[in-house]
């Protein structure tokens, strides 16, 4: 297994974040929020550099007018996104993985990722063909990435073609 590495693309927060709603403001940097999927109420603490903007959005009533999570912010230092509540983000966010396996080629370079339930992202045409011809036809359990037998079969197929699949620890679908 390998560790999940977030590339800060913001795609997860753009979709999952719609389920996180501020219930009550406690201070300029502290809020109680609710997970719209599980109903869980949790406290969050906003990073100082984003506190004013979040506070203004919440108090003006525009917090729910933007798509995705109110706490998702463009990184002022680069082209990616940051989470304004990252250290106190809810369990939903902590456990989410946008990919479940990294596939390495014979040179030990990342060649693709398994995303969703059992799809692949790759620019390697050989790997794409192997995945579509041999992995996709496998009977797929409801949650493939948490089925050890299914993962073992996929890794055996990849290994037979000179690739190595490594599951991401803690992944959920």
Report the pLDDT value the prediction gives residue 65, as an integer from 0 to 100.
Answer: 54
In this structure, the number of other CB atoms found within 10 A of the CB of residue 158 comes to: 24
Regarding predicted confidence, which is higher, 3 or 124? 124
Tell me the mean pLDDT in the region 116-130. Answer: 92
Q: How high is the pLDDT of residue 33?
A: 94
Average of pLDDT values for 84-93? 89
Tell me what pLDDT residue 172 has. 42
More confident call, 141 vs 109: 109
The pLDDT score that the predictor gives to residue 76 is 77
Element (DSSP H or E) covering residue 12? helix 11-15
Stretch 88-113: mean pLDDT: 89
Q: Is residue 129 left, alpha or beta, with left meaning phi > 0 and alpha meaning psi from -120 to 50?
A: alpha
Instruction: Give residue 45's pLDDT.
Output: 97
Q: What is the pLDDT of residues 49-87, one digit of tens each?
A: 999 989 888 877 665 555 678 898 888 777 788 899 999
Q: Write the CB contacts of 58 (distance below 8 Å, at least 6 apart in sequence).
A: 22, 25, 31, 70
Quote the Cα angle for 100-104-107, to 5°.
165
How confident is the prediction for the chain on average, in pLDDT? Answer: 86
Residue corresponding to tokens 């919440």: 58
* 105 — pLDDT class (breaks 50, 70, 90): very high
The string of pLDDT tens digits covering residues 144-160 is 667 888 989 999 999 99
């Amino acid at each position: 297994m390998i560790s999940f590495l977030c590339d800060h693309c913001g795609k997860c927060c753009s979709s999952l974040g719609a389920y996180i709603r501020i219930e009550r403001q406690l201070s300029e940097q502290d809020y109680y929020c609710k997970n719209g999927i599980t109903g869980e109420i949790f406290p969050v603490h906003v990073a100082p550099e984003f506190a004013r903007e979040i506070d203004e959005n919440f108090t003006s009533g525009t917090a729910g007018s933007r798509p995705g999570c109110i706490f998702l912010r463009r990184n002022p230092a680069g082209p990616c996104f940051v989470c304004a509540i990252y250290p106190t983000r809810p369990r939903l966010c902590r456990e989410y993985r946008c990919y479940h396996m990294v596939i390495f080629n014979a040179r030990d370079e990342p060649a693709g990722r398994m995303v969703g339930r059992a799809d692949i992202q790759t620019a390697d045409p050989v790997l794409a063909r192997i995945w579509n011809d041999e992995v996709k036809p496998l009977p797929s359990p409801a949650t493939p990435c948490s089925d050890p037998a299914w993962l073992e079969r996929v890794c055996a197929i990849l290994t037979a073609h000179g690739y190595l699949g490594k599951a991401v620890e803690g992944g959920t679908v």
